[in-house]
Amino acid sequence: MRQITLAKAVNEAIAEEMRRDPTIFLMGEDVAEAGTPFKVLSGLVEEFGRERIIDTPISEPGFMGIAVGAAMTGSRPIVDLMFGDFLFLVMDQLCNQAAKTHYMSGGKLKAPLVLRTNLGATRRSAAQHSQSLHGLLAHIPGLKIALPSSAYEAKGLMKTAIRDDNPVVIFEDKLMYNDKAPVPEEEYLIPFGVANILREGRDITLIATSSMVQVAQKAAEMLAAESGISAEVIDPRTIVPLDEETILKSVRKTGRAIVIDEGHQSFGVTAEIASRINEKAFYYLDAPVQRIGAMDVPVPFSPVLEDLTVPTPQIVVERARRSVKGELFDAA
Amino acid sequence: MSPANKTNSEDYLRAYRQMVRIRVFEDNANQLYLSAKMPGLTHMYTGQEAVAVGICEALEVSDKITSTHRGHGHCVAKGAEFKEMFCELLGKAEGYCRGKGGSMHIADQAHGNLGANAIVGGSAGIATGAALSAKRLGTKDVTVCFFGDGALGQGLLYEVMNMAALWKLPVIYACENNLYGEYTKVEEMAAGALTARAAAFGIETHVVDGQDVLAVNRLTRDLVERARNGEGPFFVQLDTYRYYGHHVGDINREYYRSKEEETFWKTKRDPIANFGAWLTGEKIATEDELKAINEAVRADAEAAVAYALAAPYPDAAEVRLHVYADNAA
């Protein structure tokens, strides 16, 4: 099978959907000729023109709001938010307007839009261009949250997001844009709420999202090679909706779980998933469910410091070994 | 007011009736609040009727509006029915939003009302987006964005007016200057001329007497037609007055405005009384005919309130309904 980059996969998904449905348009900062700073959208304006690939002023709340109104009136906008950190600028339009319009109108109005943005630290971009804020949005009913972990996932999830009748926020890992993966030529979609079991195992379940899926996979390889520990790796793909069943089924089998996510550890995705496991699979557990999130500090600039803030395969391996051995550890 | 065009008699009387419907709706909403029959609070539109009616009478059903927390007037003027509105105010299942929105979120998409909004200035983006949709999809619909002078403090408005001007969108920004943002005078909150804000983006601006339904309607008809032909956007400042407080519970208002000022507007500048006098003066209607309209509207409202009070609340199962739209197969 051909291998393409994550950036190319996103580009293909958007282009295919725009060919299929003329009500789709895309708007954001430097999305047309510039193709975004990450060059994810290069070539789209040449095919679809400036009527459908719309360069906006640097006005995130404004174009987010415009997308909501367009979505309510027959269009299917894709909003490009250059950095996930800019979510704080669009919170009212996203969370008070888009997320609530269907409910507040008793089901009469809907806002089918996609907000594509990114997450991920270690790009040496400091505290306002490095955050992973998906957990914050997962707290708001009415939004769906997709977290692709490879080029294959990015294409299939993007196509599903565009066809969804709800506001969907899709976070791409900005460090993975050039990572290649096998992606079929033929069309495919990845449904929301269906987790992917990347590796089967007996001893411990590693539940990892987005950028952390490769960390978990690497840890699983190291555990197998160095300690003979068999780890199962699960990528939920979407945290809203969350495929709780696949996670619980795995933990009931292995009796141990570590949840790994690049959002801040406190009050985040890892806490939510760990808590559901505790509530629904407690009597199957042989050890406390562990959380590994990003350190609860603003992302520092200095590489020496920044690298300390994100989960690594080594941390996962260490925690998994101790869990399997029955050792207690210092929480958080 | 200008001389009547007799061929428009029906239009004049419909406009009069719509203004009366808003006034009567609000009187009833206030009574429901005072008698503790309505959950929560509401913000009354009384005094501003000529704005909503003058504008909405210039729109087609498929044209869109976005509304505000003070939105009952816009909703009535765009074609909503009393029964579903009172049901919504009382949180009943037959309300426009099945009781889930309430006073501050009434939406009536069948008549092009994309919804009231409890965030001041919060619908400026939605209105502009509806206009972008209309332009892209070629529907020829025009969108009117209603907001108060208080919303002029919100940055979102300036971001979307900029884009509307850059992209020549069919949207009319209707700034209802009722002189107060909540409990504070507009001149304490907005520096410079209100219209200068839009003019800075190259948007054509107008100032109109918001108590004169004919003046509002005449201006809006012209702007709607021009917006439909791609000449938008436009910004209109409508000078008007809020008879009641910020909300129904805002009773003692003398610390921010005088009784004399309120009396002046209510007695000299009332949009319904003045339009009624014009209708009789121009011999379009007699005093008795206007009285009959008022009585009929009051009877309608009374029946709708009684209906809404007796109507069932939503089933408990509805609490989890409509968080997400079901995807079409």
A109 and B115 in contact by Cβ < 8 A?
yes
Hey, is the C-beta of A66 within 8 angstroms of any chain B C-beta?
Answer: yes
pLDDT at B329 over 70: no
Residue B162 maps to a domain: yes
Residue B323 maps to a domain: no
The one-character DSSP state at B181 is E
Cis peptide bond N-terminal to A241, omega within 30: yes
Question: pLDDT by residue (tens digit) across B244-276?
Answer: 999 998 989 999 999 999 999 999 999 999 999
- For residue B206, give both structure tokens: 């107008």
B197: helix, coil or strand? helix
The C-alpha of A89 sits at a distance from chain B's nearest C-alpha, in angstroms, of 10
Tell me the mean pLDDT in the region A63-87: 98
The active-site residue out of A60, A153, A172, A272 is: A60
Q: Which of A56, A103, A163 sits opposite B100 (nearest CB)?
A: A103
Q: What is the extent of the structural domain holding B43?
A: 6-311
Residue A235 and residue B32: Cα distance in Å, rounded? Answer: 53
Question: pLDDT by residue (tens digit) across A200-252?
Answer: 999 999 999 999 999 999 999 999 999 999 999 999 999 999 999 999 999 99
pLDDT at B14 over 60: yes
Question: Backbone phi, then psi, for B161, in 5-degree steps?
Answer: -65, -40
Of B152, B180, B187, B188, nearest in space to B245 by CA? B180
Domain count, chain B: 1
SS3 sequence of chain A: CCEEEHHHHHHHHHHHHHHHCCCEEEEECCCCCCCCCCCCCCCHHHHHCCCCEEECCCCHHHHHHHHHHHHHCCCEEEEECCCHHHHHHCHHHHHHHHCCHHHHCCCCCCCCCEEEEEECCCCCCCCCCCCCCHHHHHCCCCCEEECCCCHHHHHHHHHHHHHCCCCEEEEEECCCCCCEEECCCCCCCCCCCCCEEEECCCCEEEEECCCHHHHHHHHHHHHHHHHCCCEEEEECCEEECCCHHHHHHHHHHHCCEEEEEEEECCCCHHHHHHHHHHHHHHHHCCCCCEEEEECCCCCCCCHHHHHHHCCCHHHHHHHHHHHHHCCCCCCC
Fold: same for A3-182 and A196-325: yes
Question: pLDDT by residue (tens digit) across B26-67?
Answer: 999 999 999 999 999 999 999 999 999 999 999 999 999 999
- Interface size A-B, in CB pairs within 8 Å, comes to 157
The active-site residue out of A12, A17, A102, A129 is: A129
Annotated catalytic residue A139:
no
Q: Which residue has the tokens 């407690």?
A: A282
State the burial class of residue B314 (Cβ atoms within 10 Å of its Cβ: 0-12, 13-18, 19+).
Answer: middle
pLDDT computed for residue B315 by the predictor:
97
Hey, is the C-beta of A23 within 8 angstroms of any chain B C-beta?
Answer: yes
The C-alpha of B96 sits at a distance from chain A's nearest C-alpha, in angstroms, of 7
Residue B272 maps to a domain: yes
pLDDT at A83 over 80: yes
> What percent of chain A has pLDDT above 70?
99
Hey, is the C-beta of A228 within 8 angstroms of any chain B C-beta?
Answer: no
Residue B149 maps to a domain: yes
Hey, is the C-beta of B100 within 8 angstroms of any chain A C-beta?
Answer: yes
Mean residue pLDDT of chain A comes to: 97
Hey, is the C-beta of B323 within 8 angstroms of any chain A C-beta?
Answer: yes
Hey, is the C-beta of B37 within 8 angstroms of any chain A C-beta?
Answer: no
Q: What residue segments make up the domains of chain A, in order of their start? A: 3-182, 196-325
Q: Which of B85, B103, B133 to mutate to test the interface with A (most CBs of A within 10 A)?
A: B133
Residue B307 and residue B305: Cα distance in Å, rounded? Answer: 5
A22-31, A113-122, B181-190 — which is least confidently predicted? Answer: B181-190
Q: Please give the class, per CATH, of domain A3-182.
A: alpha beta
Q: Which of A69, A92, A105 sits opposite B119 (nearest CB)?
A: A92
Residue B326 maps to a domain: no
B92: helix, coil or strand? coil
- How many Cβ atoms sit within 10 Å of the Cβ of residue A128? 12
pLDDT computed for residue A327 by the predictor:
85
Residue B328 maps to a domain: no
Residue B253 maps to a domain: yes
Residues of chain B found within 8 Å of residue A103, distances taken between Cβ atoms = 100, 322-323
Higher pLDDT, B327 or A281: A281
A57 and B159 in contact by Cβ < 8 A?
yes
Confidence category of residue A331, pLDDT binned at 50, 70, 90: low
pLDDT at B1 over 90: no
Mean residue pLDDT of chain B comes to: 96
What chain B residue is nearest to A98 in terms of C-alpha separation?
A: B126
Q: Which of A59, A75, A105 sits opposite B137 (nearest CB)?
A: A75
Annotated catalytic residue A12:
no
Residue A65 and residue B163: Cα distance in Å, rounded? Answer: 11
Residue B318 maps to a domain: no
Confidence category of residue B7, pLDDT binned at 50, 70, 90: confident
Residues of chain B found within 8 Å of residue A67, distances taken between Cβ atoms = 125, 129
Tell me the mean pLDDT in the region A89-103: 98
Higher pLDDT, B329 or A16: A16
Confidence category of residue A330, pLDDT binned at 50, 70, 90: low
Residues of chain B found within 8 Å of residue A166, distances taken between Cβ atoms = 324-325, 327
Do A25 and A167 touch, CB atoms closer than 8 A?
A: no
Residue B160 sits in a domain whose CATH number is: 3.40.50.970
Q: Please give the class, per CATH, of domain A196-325.
A: alpha beta
A102 and B322 in contact by Cβ < 8 A?
yes
pLDDT computed for residue A112 by the predictor:
98
pLDDT at A299 over 80: yes
Confidence category of residue A329, pLDDT binned at 50, 70, 90: low
ipTM for the whole predicted complex goes beyond 0.90: yes
Hey, is the C-beta of B163 within 8 angstroms of any chain A C-beta?
Answer: yes
What chain A residue is nearest to B92 in terms of C-alpha separation?
A: A106
